[in-house]
Structure 1
């Protein structure tokens, strides 16, 4: 009990000392807060700008209804593919839709193939054409996407995972952005469908809401959208063909986004919007093992793309100055340097100072981040949330999120080291090993 009392007094003493000691400020306020403050400002002002636009302009029903092709990549989803096909077929979109379910490795995934064929018969209508395209030899996600692109005839191409379902106005929401000829692609929002499955799915639900929906909404207002999710995004078909479709290796979604941005200098009027209210629902990993494996792939692939594959193209001459600076600070440095700094900082505090003092500093930092988290959550909740009754249930779980976020930083660090030392992108589950090995070496 005395240890807890001592800890409380030390935290209060640290708060009192903030205005008197720069040394305490240095230890209490890690570099990460100062570094991420500009990003926080961009996101918050972008969200407020989005909110103002939504409530100050009259929403007009769009008459632009081009034919769209929805490529669904299927591999082992079985009955879940029916829900995905149905969610596209039942869209409240007046234009013609072509739904292409590409079954990768159809020989070994015969059950998924049969479910897809059953759904095609059930949901096909006059302006909803459903095609089931079997790839008998498994080639991976990129191969499946390109196979779908080769038969797609729509002006706008959607990409989606077979375990993801969509709100019935998602296609109409995204297509409306393509009225602007300077929009080459649009990102869609994602939510965690199995939010109540475990503690970890609740943490990921908060993460998706704040980072993927709130963060992308804010950044897109300044044309700084960092990634179009591979689970839900849309592109102009002519552009995809021009740049050669999806490329091999892994993290095909970030890879494609980076390749599109390499045209920004030549087309400074281009912008990549984010359709905040076009929502897809996906199942997040509910066990610690599955979550770590997912993030090992995500974060390792990020290192591969930024520091191996696209390093030569990292120049203002291709990206444009604004995109170059943002990518440098919050693509390269934040995703690679910050996990290292946080890990060193976390260990150094406990090595350099007595345990009780170090614990007090850690508790103080926790409350600072918790306050920032609540601030962002409230803004996202009030300005963006289209499901407030569901999102308000996440508030009690916010107290655990800073600890979850710190743990995921350590997972990120391990993933970066794994890619740097072992080239982990060549071991991805997204494609057979022989496909990844045959890809160009970087």
Structure 2
């Protein structure tokens, strides 16, 4: 038992410590240090799958209109919305029928009609029968005419330099896919490349912001340097269109973002010259849930997504667990340390409470709880420092809010997250459906296209 506890505790400590150090500037890869200056702009198709997005779609439209990149198009895919989504698109874009035709490579539900904006000719709307997000993305790829494909959620807002930075990174022919950085839309300010604000935000939003900071600026950054990034966030992903077609597009599943990332990893497994990046200079903002009900929906879906891909890609992951970093971290860290460890931890506490054997594990429990509280406090502080290192600061009045959020995260939210992991992992085997998170309906300020654009560079 002591040996088991030692191994268990060691694994729980090893991976967070590894990411904590590996995200530091000393371990930057060549892709992060070298900036190519391509003489031409690659064509970029931005795909925005939209199902009942009336509460946020206007913000998305204004965001797309504000982008200053020249060679890009936007394709909204209205996936059988039953609300005012299409009407809002028509009202703001003045849609007219378009002669755009599909490439005929990927299957998807029937497209009723394709439209083009009379006001902004580079914006299109594909109006189709409902088929789910993966199906909508496949339809979008079919009608995309550019070399690169950017996938965004309808509530994601891009910052002005993002497409320029993407063009620079994909000038390297080895890059076939990448994830962008995702910040919280509720914390966006009029200076979205440098300033964040917590004024007016709820604790629930602030603690999710901490989750995103830790995920993107610590864990994902570290994993990307290992070429082990298993999730290109659905909120902001970038792909070679050819690669998306080569892997057969998106699979209809509960987790299309993990699925497409692992598909690409599997496809390039024997191509050592191909890589997947995390582009720290491509910044976006996405809206987060503001109620416990919606947070529960979101996190359970995330966990079901992980389990779905663990099952679907089990052959690839198991065969390459010792040869591919992505498989090693997906199975050893995410499954054993992230999921199995949650059940073991809960089991110890339940056994102690109901079997009155707390004295047997008292030392372990004290040490483990001390680790949880102290280490997670340090982890949160590091994430805040990392965000500052990459050029972002908070308002002075946010210091107390940040401190309160860190305390709440360490003593409460971590255990709530553990519950989400445990519940979602089991729920996957009984119900693989997922429920859409409600939009707040809030109107967000978007910088006008005439605003001065300064290419963001990390401060490291």
| Structure-1-length-normalised TM-score | 0.80
Tell me which moved more, 256-265 or 121-130.
121-130
Indicate the SS of the match to 2:73.
Answer: strand
2:123 paired residue among 126, 130, 134: 130
1:345 paired residue among 342, 345, 348: 348
1:323 aligns with 2:296: no
1:192 paired residue among 179, 184, 191: 184
1:414 aligns with 2:423: yes
1:78 aligns with 2:54: yes
1:143 paired residue among 131, 135, 150: 135
The equivalent residue for 2:146 is: 154
Indicate the SS of the match to 2:67.
Answer: coil
Equivalent residue runs for 1:20-31 within 5 Å: 31=8
The equivalent residue for 1:401 is: 409
Please tell me the root mean square deviation across aligned C-alpha atoms, in Å: 3.4
Indicate the SS of the match to 1:230.
Answer: coil
CA deviation after TM superposition for structure 1 residue 61, in Å: 4.6
Distance 2:427 2:436 in 1: 17
Equivalent residue runs for 1:255-270 within 5 Å: 255-270=259-274
CA deviation after TM superposition for structure 1 residue 192, in Å: 1.7
Question: Would the alpha carbon gap of residues 318 and 236 (structure 1) be closer, same or farther in structure 2, given more than 3 Å must change?
Answer: farther
The equivalent residue for 1:242 is: 246
Question: Would the alpha carbon gap of residues 316 and 30 (structure 1) be closer, same or farther in structure 2, given more than 3 Å must change?
Answer: closer
Indicate the SS of the match to 1:273.
Answer: strand
1:381 paired residue among 383, 387, 391: 387
Which structure shows the higher helix fraction?
Answer: 1
Indicate the SS of the match to 1:184.
Answer: strand
1:35 aligns with 2:23: no
Distance 1:52 1:145 in 2: 31
1:225 aligns with 2:198: no
The equivalent residue for 2:75 is: 100
1:334 aligns with 2:372: no
Indicate the SS of the match to 2:426.
Answer: helix
The equivalent residue for 1:7 is: none
Distance 1:163 1:373 in 2: 28
Distance 2:387 2:7 in 1: 27
Contact 1:48 1:383 in 2 (8 A): no
1:293 paired residue among 294, 297, 304: 297
Indicate the SS of the match to 2:275.
Answer: coil
CA deviation after TM superposition for structure 1 residue 130, in Å: 0.3
Contact 2:35 2:169 in 1 (8 A): no
Distance 2:30 2:125 in 1: 40
Distance 2:348 2:386 in 1: 30
| Structure-2-length-normalised TM-score | 0.77
CA deviation after TM superposition for structure 1 residue 146, in Å: 1.1
Distance 1:395 1:264 in 2: 43
The equivalent residue for 1:87 is: 63
Distance 1:170 1:103 in 2: 24
Contact 1:182 1:270 in 2 (8 A): yes
Distance 2:71 2:155 in 1: 23
Distance 1:411 1:58 in 2: 40
